[in-house]
Amino acid sequence: MRLLRSTDLALRTLMRLAVVDGADGAPTTREVAADMAVPYTHETKVVAELQKMGLLEARRGRGGGLALTEAGRRASVGALVRSFEGTGDVVDCESGTPCPLSPACRLRDALRRAQEAFYASLDPLTVEDMVASPTGPLLLGITTRPTA
C-alpha cells in the first residue's frame, strides 16, 4: 500500500515541529519545506490542512512561525493517515470498465481487512512517538532553528 505524498508530508511536518521549542523561535513554512526537502507549494497546502485540523498553529509577525499544538503532539499516526488518505478502497473496482467480479469478490473483502489492519497498526502511535531516538536527534541535526 502506497501513501499519498501529502500524507507523508503531513507526518514529516508534524515530526519536524515536534522537535522545536516554540519559545526559541518557530520555523516558517518555507524553512520547514527546506528542511524536509519538499516544494514550498506542497508544504503550504499541507500546513493549511494541518492548521484546519487543529494540529499546528501559525503565528504571525516578528518571531512568528509554525508551532505544534498539544493535539498535534498527541495525534495518532493512524488517525492522521486515515484522514489524509480518505476512506476509499485500495483497489478501484468500479471506474472505467467495472470489474466483473465486483458483485461477489472475496479479494475485495480481504483487501479491505488488510487496509484496516494497516491503519489499526498505526493507531496507537503518536507524533511524539515518531520523534524518539534515532529520528528526533536526526531531525535536530537538520533543523535550521533553535531546538528543544
Catalog residues that contact ligand SF4 under the rule CB under 6 A. Answer: 91, 93, 99, 101-102, 105, 107-108, 111
Closest separation between CB of residue 111 and ligand SF4, Å? 6
Minimum CB distance to ligand SF4 smaller for 38 or for 93: 93
Write the CA distances from 98 to 3, 93, 108, 110, 113, integer angstroms.
24, 6, 13, 19, 21
Minimum CB distance to ligand SF4 smaller for 61 or for 103: 103
Minimum CB distance to ligand SF4 smaller for 30 or for 113: 113
Closest separation between CB of residue 1 and ligand SF4, Å? 14
Q: Cell 472505467 maps to which residue?
A: 96
Closest separation between CB of residue 69 and ligand SF4, Å? 39
Closest separation between CB of residue 4 and ligand SF4, Å? 20
Minimum CB distance to ligand SF4 smaller for 21 or for 92: 92
Q: How far apart are the first and last CA of the chain?
A: 35
d(CA 84, CA 97): 27
d(CA 41, CA 61): 21
User: Among candidates 112, 120, 42, which has minimal Cα distance to 77?
Assistant: 120
